[in-house]
Amino acid sequence: MKTNRILEKMRRGERAVGAVMNFPSEEIVELLGIAGLDFVSFDGQHGAFSRETLDHLCRAADQAGLTPIARVPDIEASTILSYLDRGIMGITGPNIDTREQAVALAEACKFSPEGKRSFGSTRGNRFGFSEDRQAWMAHVNANILVIAQIESKTAVANLPDILGVAGIDLFTGGPNDLAQSLGFPGEPNHPRVKETMNEAARLIHKAGKKLAKEVMDSISIAELVVNSARALREKDKGQPTR
């Protein structure tokens, strides 16, 4: 049975390495596997991912030896289920502002008794072909990574309550949306934004929890392409023509 490479490394005190994609490409997923990465993350909140493309991308990730995870567009149970049923093994829930939303995120990601996820005979569940369904569901629960995204002043204010919710593995920020929430749109590096993010990190650590960036290193595929192209252009400047 498949295991979550991010959780495996986290439990050993190691860092997982992966890439973030905001557009679908099975070929890039294959290349990431050839590069020996641990995971690939699909940005379903802002990227163009349908259920069909997620099916294909998760299949490519499985074949490449990568753990597929995703940020979902919202934390409705039906939305999260549609990602998990495709084969996604980690969910980042955006805009977690309250304890109730954190509970909803955690419960949507896990089967009973840990949550309320519905069982479906989809590729994420081996199309329903498991000799011991109880054992399968327990294995899946142990290998689903749940990340809560804290990205507003309301979320930071409610963070002590959010941190008490069982089933959230990691926390992550959202400096651009937090900047807007604090009244500094387009200024993710504003001192007030940094101060608020530092306070959130302090509360997370005080509760014995971790930030996603402390256990996961990732690179944006879009940034990699653009930065590599720009570097090539800079290198070529001033070179004599042939």
Q: So which residues are the catalytic ones?
A: 46
Strands (E), the chain: 16-21, 39-43, 67-71, 90-93, 145-150, 170-173, 216-220
Counting Cα atoms < 13 Å in the Cβ hemisphere of 199 gives 16
**All residues at 6 or more sequence positions from 24 whose CB lies less than 8 Å from its CB, including other chains:** 42, 47, 48, 49, 53, 56, 57
Could you give the 3-state DSSP secondary structure of residue 49?
coil
Measuring CA to CA, which residue among 112, 87, 96, 108 is closest to residue 151?
96
- Decide: 78 and 146 in contact? Cβ < 8 Å: no
- Between CA 38 and CA 17 the distance in angstroms is 5
- Between CA 197 and CA 203 the distance in angstroms is 10
Measuring CA to CA, which residue among 232, 224, 229, 210 is closest to residue 18?
224
Q: 13: alpha, beta or left, given left = phi > 0 and alpha = psi -120 to 50?
A: left
Measuring CA to CA, which residue among 91, 59, 60, 68 is closest to residue 5?
68
